[in-house]
């Protein structure tokens, strides 16, 4: 499981200040993300592009590292406006490689631009990233997982979504990364049984 891969404490719910939280306790930024964002449905091409880019940026890093850089990412990538990022060129890549506020990895930076262009191409073909992304939402699970060891790292739906996105020109969108995005964007509710955010 990524929290993206939520690297959680031993698969147990932590209790802090009378709140039962399935991850994120102890860091205000992480707590806010857990309580108010993770698992809440996300709509709109710019918002979904942001999540896809950030999930790709996380590869090899902890999610809290990406959360701490999130505002810098929003500034660097023009609020993840697909048209604005799609217009980035070589000079923008070099600029971003010198931006300490983001992960300065050429492949990850270039993938964000490629994915913005793919988002624009979808729109120009009469579709949208939102439509494609949400078409792979599985039926709701009525029984919550009890521990993180039960939560899958990928599913048939995330594999199918990854395949569809790759066909549409997206990169850095493997099945595990896309399952993390599905969790983050509310296509599935993987807050553990007893978590304060489970029923929100």
Tracing tokens 């993987």 back to the chain, one arrives at: 190
Tens of pLDDT, residues 120-142: 999 999 999 999 999 999 999 88
Tens of pLDDT, residues 30-40: 999 999 999 99
With 80 as the cut, is the pLDDT of residue 200 above it? no
With 90 as the cut, is the pLDDT of residue 10 above it? no
Q: State whether the Cα torsion 49-54-55-57 is positive or negative.
A: positive
Catalytic residues: 33, 55, 63
Q: How confident is the model at residue 8 (pLDDT cuts 50, 70, 90)?
A: very low
- Overall average pLDDT of the 34-62 stretch: 97
- pLDDT at position 2: 54
Domain 14-184's class? Answer: mainly alpha
Tens of pLDDT, residues 143-194: 999 999 999 999 999 999 999 999 999 999 999 999 999 999 999 999 999 9
With 50 as the cut, is the pLDDT of residue 53 above it? yes
């Amino acid at each position: 499981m990524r929290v993206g891969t939520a690297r959680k404490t031993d698969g147990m719910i932590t209790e802090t200040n009378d709140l039962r939280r399935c991850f994120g306790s102890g860091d205000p930024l992480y707590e806010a993300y857990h309580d108010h964002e993770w698992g809440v449905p996300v709509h709109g091409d710019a918002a979904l592009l942001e999540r896809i880019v950030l999930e790709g940026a996380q590869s090899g890093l902890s999610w809290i590292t990406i959360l701490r850089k999130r505002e810098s990412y929003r500034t660097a990538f023009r609020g993840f406006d697909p048209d604005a990022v799609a217009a980035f060129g070589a000079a923008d890549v070099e600029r971003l490689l010198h931006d300490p506020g983001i992960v300065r990895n050429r492949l990850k930076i270039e993938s964000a631009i490629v994915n913005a262009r793919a988002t624009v191409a979808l729109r120009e073909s009469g579709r949208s990233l939102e439509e494609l992304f949400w078409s792979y939402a599985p039926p709701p699970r009525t029984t919550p997982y009890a521990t993180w060891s039960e939560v899958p790292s990928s599913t048939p739906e995330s594999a199918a979504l990854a395949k569809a996105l790759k066909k549409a020109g997206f990169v850095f969108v493997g099945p595990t990364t896309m399952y993390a995005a599905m969790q983050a964007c509310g296509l599935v509710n993987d807050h553990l049984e007893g978590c304060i955010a489970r029923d929100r």
